[in-house]
Structure 1
Amino acid sequence: MIGDDVDRVLTKLQQLVAVPSVVGYEGPLMRHLARELHTAGLDVTSTEGGVVGNGARGGRVVISAHADRHGLICTAPGTFTYAAHVLPAIRGVANSHRHAFAETVCTRFGDEEVRAYDPRTGNTVADGRVDHMAVCGIDDLGIEVPVKGLDAILTATPVAFQGKVVQEGQHVQAQLDNVLGVAMALVLVEGGFDGTVVFTAEEEIGASWRYLNHELLRHVQAPDTLIVLDTSPFDDTEAVDVGAVVLRWRDETARFSVPTVSRLIQISQSHDIPVVVKDRLIERLNEERRFNGRDELPLGRTELGRLVRGTAEFVNGATLQVPTTMYHTNAETTSVTAIANAMRVLRDATD
């Protein structure tokens, strides 16, 4: 079963990365996901902020995954801005831009093939490539990324990184955040999951929790079980190679459900699956950094943390994350073992 799960997740991954879903312009992928959930037999509702599928246990057991990915937006003829930064600026939301981060973005996507697409249909308008020889810039709207070959496209056109999945031995590379979580949820549904699945938009700008909350409030009471799927970045490959699942007791904004997190830990231990508790790991690293006079690492913010804080803890749950390296790139990497272990825990937790 678990081996079959991995094969199905990888097949879904191939299909999903081919559909563009730049943050703020997720329409083509959301329509694809609505069809998938409908085919699987769920009652499907499309909303402004995502797609919801409800089965017989709708509202009681909820799985969520954000479906947006990083990309660019054409903000003027020949000018392309990192979407996760330009959208808050356009909407009047406070956002800070650092030159160091601009360099990071260009390093992440230098020389990557991209495609401008029609946000209504998902059809490709033109192909281009990030110019790794040019320098990223920062203006009032955010981080400008130099792109060759798209001079003729219209302002406000989204530009996605070309979708590709590469498997080398036990490692899987793609723009995994968070199409991997979406693929896992779809495989769970096709295997008979009859709760609620919520695919949200705009997580990369911190807005997705509002869409998730809107769906949960339709059921009046908080779910018995809420699990939010995502990837989790690491600087080295240890967690990836051992196939760890990544859990949290908290993030920067909120503490998570003790019963739900405890259950995920128990399930993992029952299968001898390694567990990394990310907030505890960061706290240990920060003890060393304080001792050495270095700046502390942030605990990080999650969709679930924003939801818990935004609902004054009325809604709570747990994150279930797959460890990756090369975070937020087109070569974000995890392992077959990590995917298999996350699916095993997810299945047991939602039975």
Structure 2
Amino acid sequence: MSPSPTADLSAFLITLRHLIREPSVVGAEDSFFRVLRRELEEMDISVERHSGVLVAKGKDPESVVLSAHVDRHGLVCTGPNEFQYAAFIAGNKSELTGDSVSEQMVAMIADRFTGQRVQAHLPYTGTYVGQGTIRAGYLCQKRLNLIFELDGLEYLEPGTPLAFLDRLKLTDTHISAQLDNVLSVALIVYLYSIGFQGTALFTAQEEAGRSWRYALEWLRRESITTSRLLVLDTSPYPTKEEAGMQDVVLRRKDATAWFDPLFTEEIVARCDVLGISYGFKDEWIEERNLLREKPSSLGRTELGRLALASEGQINGTTLQIPTTGYHTAEETASLNSIKAAIGLLSTFIR
């Protein structure tokens, strides 16, 4: 009998399964940061908490800097039995300029949450306070946000975050959960467990367009300039077939800035050596825009915003896992893509 395709991923999947169960609604990431800190300190990794970012350092912190945002989509109570999409509340709606992928997709995904179970917790401690079910979701044109109707949580006070009740689902070929972006967090934690000694930034409020500010503040505080920042994330595709056309997703640019070409080509070379297939998301979007009446955005990423704000003093490239079911509790990634990402990231272990 051939070995299970998940056999060599068992340790990683244990880490991912554990982290998925911990709520980390955008704007209320404190309790998740504490869980993550314990995980890293148990591996003798130096950890510092700063505003909006948890910084982990191995014994060779200058070798490479990885980054992943910890926040996940969820809801927040905004009034008596009233619930809104947490990302737009956390961002004070200051990022609603129309050119982000989240904004362009938000109306499309409103009804995907009907029937979804949610769990409410206290903002700072993460203490569980109850469960409910989303009865309906719709885009309110007056408030430019998703409004949700819930059953079972009428007693909540404004400011209470609600996470989607999430569990890892595993088949022989794929995993499903709300993967964006706990998948990348788990990848970095696992990487440290097998010997990675570089630096990792775990940022808050990426889905609200704020994470780059927290990363930039810490990098400037430490007088760090770099062209080798590697940002990990998921990358949405409309079908499993299109997601499966590559093991990993790279980029040369986003809607904000060009990424560092030398580091990007270094990642390409590492993929070629390992036999990892890759696609460039910016090229994929531009090709499809030629056939669209209304072009899609290239997306505004954490890295692009960092590069622009630092005038190129901080740059790098991205490594993303192709997924389907974007921004839902059923986001799906292939085990082959995860294996490829681990293989690639392992080349940074000295």
Shared fold by TM > 0.5?
yes
Question: 1: CA distance between counterparts of 2:268 and 2:216?
Answer: 25
1:265-284 alignment runs, 5 A limit: 265-284=268-287
CA, structure 1 residues 302+287, in 2 after alignment: closer, same or farther (shift >3 Å)? same
Question: 1: CA distance between counterparts of 2:95 and 2:277?
Answer: 39
Alpha-carbon contact 1:61-1:350 (below 8 Å) kept: no
Instruction: Encode CA deviations 1:94-117: one digit per residue, 9 max, x unaligned.
Output: 536999966434222111000110
> Which residue number corresponds to residue 340 of structure 1?
339
Aligned residues: 343
Q: 139-148 vs 42-51, which deviates more?
A: 139-148
Question: 2: CA distance between counterparts of 1:315 and 1:337?
Answer: 31
SS across alignment from 1:176: coil
1:110 maps onto 2:122 in alignment: no
Alpha-carbon contact 1:242-1:338 (below 8 Å) kept: no
Question: 1: CA distance between counterparts of 2:79 and 2:239?
Answer: 38
Task: Quote the offset at 1:283 in angstroms.
Answer: 1.7
2:32 to 29, 38, 49: 29
1:62 maps onto 2:65 in alignment: yes
Question: 1: CA distance between counterparts of 2:315 and 2:104?
Answer: 35
Q: 240-249 vs 149-158, which deviates more?
A: 240-249
Question: 1: CA distance between counterparts of 2:211 and 2:103?
Answer: 27
1:326 maps onto 2:325 in alignment: yes
> Which residue number corresponds to residue 96 of structure 2?
95
CA, structure 1 residues 263+18, in 2 after alignment: closer, same or farther (shift >3 Å)? same
Amino acid at match of 1:117: H
Alpha-carbon contact 1:3-1:340 (below 8 Å) kept: no
> Which residue number corresponds to residue 287 of structure 1?
290
> Which residue number corresponds to residue 204 of structure 1?
207
Task: Quote the offset at 1:166 in angstroms.
Answer: 0.6
SS across alignment from 2:202: strand
SS across alignment from 1:144: strand
1:177 to 170, 175, 180: 180
Alpha-carbon contact 2:227-2:260 (below 8 Å) kept: no
Question: 2: CA distance between counterparts of 1:207 and 1:100?
Answer: 18
Alpha-carbon contact 1:61-1:226 (below 8 Å) kept: yes
Question: 2: CA distance between counterparts of 1:243 and 1:169?
Answer: 18
> Which residue number corresponds to residue 83 of structure 1?
86
Question: 2: CA distance between counterparts of 1:189 and 1:349?
Answer: 11
Question: 2: CA distance between counterparts of 1:138 and 1:165?
Answer: 34
Question: 2: CA distance between counterparts of 1:304 and 1:100?
Answer: 20
CA, structure 1 residues 41+4, in 2 after alignment: closer, same or farther (shift >3 Å)? farther
SS across alignment from 2:180: helix
Task: Quote the offset at 1:225 in angstroms.
Answer: 2.5
> Which residue number corresponds to residue 147 of structure 2?
144
Question: 2: CA distance between counterparts of 1:99 and 1:174?
Answer: 21
SS across alignment from 2:65: strand
1:117-136 alignment runs, 5 A limit: 117-132=121-136, 135=138
Q: 4-13 vs 93-102, which deviates more?
A: 93-102
Question: 2: CA distance between counterparts of 1:164 and 1:119?
Answer: 21
CA, structure 1 residues 318+173, in 2 after alignment: closer, same or farther (shift >3 Å)? same
SS across alignment from 1:288: coil
Task: Quote the offset at 1:154 in angstroms.
Answer: 1.0
Give the superposed CA RMSD: 2.2
Task: Quote the offset at 1:60 in angstroms.
Answer: 4.1
Task: Quote the offset at 1:139 in angstroms.
Answer: 4.1
Q: 92-101 vs 59-68, which deviates more?
A: 92-101
1:12-51 alignment runs, 5 A limit: 12-51=15-54
SS across alignment from 1:45: strand
Alpha-carbon contact 1:64-1:229 (below 8 Å) kept: yes
CA, structure 1 residues 135+240, in 2 after alignment: closer, same or farther (shift >3 Å)? closer
Task: Quote the offset at 1:13 in angstroms.
Answer: 1.4
CA, structure 1 residues 160+281, in 2 after alignment: closer, same or farther (shift >3 Å)? same
Task: Quote the offset at 1:3 in angstroms.
Answer: 6.5
Question: 1: CA distance between counterparts of 2:283 and 2:124?
Answer: 43
In structure 1, stretches of 5+ residues that fail to align are: none
CA, structure 1 residues 302+265, in 2 after alignment: closer, same or farther (shift >3 Å)? same
Instruction: Encode CA deviations 1:115-166: one digit per residue, 9 max, x unaligned.
Output: 110122212101000104x655344373211111110011110011002111
Question: 2: CA distance between counterparts of 1:213 and 1:100?
Answer: 26
Alpha-carbon contact 1:243-1:339 (below 8 Å) kept: no
